[in-house]
Chain A
Amino acid sequence: MSTVTAAAPKRTRMRGPVTWWKDPWRKPHILKAATWLYLLWSLIPVLIAVMFSFNNGRSRSSWQGFSTMWYVGTNLPGGAYSVFANPVLRMALTQTLKLAVITTCIAVPLGLAFALGIDRWHGRGSGTSNFAMLFSFVMPELVIGVALFFVFGQALKMVPPGTWQQALGLITFQISYPVIIIRARLLSIGRQYEEAAMDLGAKPTQSLRRVLLPLLYPAIFASAVLVFADCIDDFVIVRALGGPSSSETISMKLYSGYRSAPTPAYNALATIMLVGTLSVMFIGLIFFGRSARKEGKKGDAVESFAVSI
């Protein structure tokens, strides 16, 4: 009895590091600290880069006060350009958006049809084409870019370099995202809704359009958001297939400008790009969350969105 009363306070008051370490119910302070350190490391540099796009001076590493001159300014010191005063940077902005819109508009419907076909068709060709599609997913982007560069240069010479080649290349590289996301959704939906519709007399096309397609909307939307955001950020393929200087995108400008004459205008350009991607993703998240809620799912919208990536 006396040993128990003596032991109890000892355990709570005088906990050595060894006891603390051995306690299975201790709070995971070390892991928590590691996680937050990682999060800070991954996000702070980006925030600092955004901060320096508002720097009142040429430096990208020492703070000289707040200004928006690198976005909209004219007559900057040393003949430097701000983003909107520089026609080349403005052109890069439109080219990036153009490519992203074209690619999304073609890659998503193409991927949707492909996913439906592959998922439901149980022939031998189905497995092979699925394999080819997945292969394009894991292939390093540089390999696809160089291979496409060759085929456009040597065989498909009718496609002019620049926007056309870039768009075709981006669609080829991006098509696997909608296919994978939509197929995963098809698997989780199962066949029962379609079967019910068809038992009630719907023709295949009717059941597809009025039952299956609405069920696939969240997946279609998620993949469109992903493809769009990915295209804005794409670098390797657009560079490998770029033609005249008018086909240079923001990422190409960032790359070439970074080492030659970096000014905060590049930070500003990157920030604009970041805001673009973030707003697309944010809209996607809201829609995704809403449609997930409508279905009465309990799962967290963020989580399911993350997993679908």
Chain B
Amino acid sequence: MSENKLPRADRKKARRQRKIRLKEEGAWYPKWYWPKFAIPGIAWLAVLFILPFYAVFAITFGYVNPLSQVTVPVWQPWYWDTTAFKEIAGRVVGKGVPNYAPFFIRTFVYVAIASFMCVVIAYPVAYFVARYGGRRKGLYLMLLIAPFWVSYLMRMLAWGNLLTNDGYVNKILVNLHILSQPYPWLDGKSITVVSGLIYGYIPYMILPLYAGLDRISQSLLEASRDLGANTVRTFIKVTLPLSKQAIIAGMVIVTLPMFGDYYTTALMSGYNNTKMIGSLIDDNLNNNRTGEAATLVLILVVLLIIPMLWYLRSTNSETART
């Protein structure tokens, strides 16, 4: 650096200052060196993430043209009009036409059942691979992440193919005399939609569960055994509490996208009686009812804000710990 050109006394001073900074920050960098790197990303997020969110607000509380019924965004918060928002929020709680309440209730029921089933199915799998994977752990993990590499739509298409009237599921069930005739799985059946949700999102549940269970040290389980607990008791008293965080994290990871899902129900049923919140937003958007779509998006974000913040906080504290 240019230090060498300075007089001796100044050089010493500069070196001392640098040392202080080094102690403080690890390595010495000019003041704006690192912020400079973050600026393009910050600008990008500001224009294409923060501003779009503001646009959702501007349209939700925007001005509805009485003639064309088109919503014009209002960017100044002091001119915001809440009548359209109140009307749509009323539909969500069951007042007004069309009634949105069934869609919201249905979505909550579907997501609750699907995420619960995801835990029930994923836990034993993650537990087995983490505890008993042994030498084959790499192979098991490879197979567990394989669904990630297959597009979600293709997996839905594959699962749907099996459920057609002459598909393999019906063939097997009829041949085993469980059903006397093929069951129309794809004709607006809630159970099919929930099965599609489980099938689609379960890989996202298994990985955090695996990571959480893999962290539990074997010695804790042995200690529990040595103190006289049997397998079941060890599981309930040691393994389960230690994996609670991973279960909740996995639940959040699968429920957040499920709430914004419209394609699973569209591919698995396509009928009105299985539509979810996402389908409502998508339908409104496709029919140019931007005001309704914006309001529903806003309501969805408000509903999801607590799980999202929880997840962000827990992952933040996790990175701080490691």
Specify which chain B residues have a CB less than 8 angstroms from the CB of A129 in the assembled complex: 38, 41-42, 45
Cβ contact within 8 Å between A270 and B157: yes
Considering the complex, which residues of chain A in the window 246-263 have a beta carbon less than 8 Å from any beta carbon of chain B?
A: 251, 254-255, 258-259
Cβ contact within 8 Å between B293 and A34: no
The residue in chain A whose Cβ has the minimal distance to the Cβ of B206 is A38
Chain B: interface size category: 35 or more
Specify which chain B residues have a CB less than 8 angstroms from the CB of A171 in the assembled complex: 44, 48
Q: Is the interface of A mostly helix, strand, loop or mixed?
A: helix
Q: Which of B95-103, B172-180, B239-247, B296-304 is the interface stretch? A: B296-304
Does chain B have a CB within 8 A of A117?
yes
Does chain A have a CB within 8 A of B108?
no
Specify which chain B residues have a CB less than 8 angstroms from the CB of A52 in the assembled complex: 161
The residue in chain A whose Cβ has the minimal distance to the Cβ of B32 is A121
Cβ contact within 8 Å between B263 and A138: no
B45-70, CB under 8 A of A: which get 1 and which 0? 10111111101101100000000000
Candidates B138, B311, B319; contact of A187 at CB < 8 Å: B319
Cβ contact within 8 Å between A235 and B129: no
Q: Is the interface of B mostly helix, strand, loop or mixed?
A: helix
A267-285, CB under 8 A of B: which get 1 and which 0? 1001001100110010000
Cβ contact within 8 Å between A31 and B132: yes
Does chain B have a CB within 8 A of A6?
no
Does chain A have a CB within 8 A of B203?
yes
A139 to B42, CA, bound (A): 17
Q: Which of B8-16, B21-29, B82-90 is the interface stretch? A: B21-29
A280 to B207, CA, bound (A): 21
Specify which chain B residues have a CB less than 8 angstroms from the CB of A34 in the assembled complex: 124-125, 128
A302 to B137, CA, bound (A): 9
A146 to B294, CA, bound (A): 8
Does chain A have a CB within 8 A of B259?
yes
The residue in chain A whose Cβ has the minimal distance to the Cβ of B38 is A117
Q: How far is the CB of B65 from chain A (nearest CB, A)?
A: 14
Which 8 A-B pairs rank lowest in CB-CB distance, beginning with the nearest? A117-B38, A140-B260, A114-B41, A117-B37, A147-B52, A142-B260, A49-B158, A233-B151
A positions within 8 Å CB-CB of B: 22, 24, 28, 31-32, 34-35, 38-39, 41-43, 45-46, 48-49, 52, 59-62, 110-111, 113-114, 116-123, 125-126, 129, 131-136, 138-144, 146-151, 153-156, 168-169, 171-172, 175, 179, 183-184, 187, 191, 194-195, 198, 203-204, 207, 229, 232-233, 235-236, 240, 251, 254-255, 258-259, 266-267, 270, 273-274, 277-278, 281, 300, 302-303, 306-307, 309
